[in-house]
Amino acid sequence: MSKNNREGVKHEIQELAMGNYRSYPEDYGVNVQDATANVQSLARGYWDSREIREVHRDEKLGINLNDYQQWTQEAFAVFIKNNEYSLS
C-alpha cells in the first residue's frame, strides 16, 4: 500500500503499532491499567520521531497528531479483540 495517501499512512502506523503491542504485551495487555496511556504515548512517539519527508507528507495530506492517536487506538482495539484470551 502506498504511503503517499492517507490510508497508506494509516496502514503503516497501525502495522507499527500492532508490532509494538505484540512485542511488549506487558505494556498493552488486557489487565494493564495504563494501556490507554501507553497507546497514546506510542502515537506521540511515532509523531515525534518522523523524518522530515514524513512531516512534509503528513502536512500535505492533512494528517495530524490526533490521526496518529486514533489509528494507534483502533489498532489497539483490534489487538485486544484478537488476543483477549491469551493476554489475561
- Where in the sequence is the domain holding 10, given as residue range(s)? 6-86
pLDDT (tens, 9 = 90+) of the chain, 88 residues, equals 567 899 999 999 999 999 999 998 888 876 677 888 999 999 999 999 999 999 999 999 999 999 999 999 999 999 988 877 565 4
CA distance linking residue 9 with residue 3, whole number of Å: 5
Cα separation, 73 vs 2, whole angstroms: 22
Q: What is the pTM of this model?
A: 0.87
For residue 69, being part of any structural domain is answered with yes
Residue 4 has a pLDDT of: 86
Number of structural domains (the chain) is 1
Question: HSE-up of 31 (CA within 13 Å, CB side)?
Answer: 5
Q: Could you tell me if residue 1 is inside a domain?
A: no
Confirm whether 67 is domain-assigned.
yes
Q: Would you say 87 and 25 are in contact if contact means Cβ atoms under 8 Å apart?
A: yes
Residue 34: inside a domain: yes
- Three cell numbers written together for 51: 523524518
Query: Which three cell numbers mark 37?
Result: 496511556
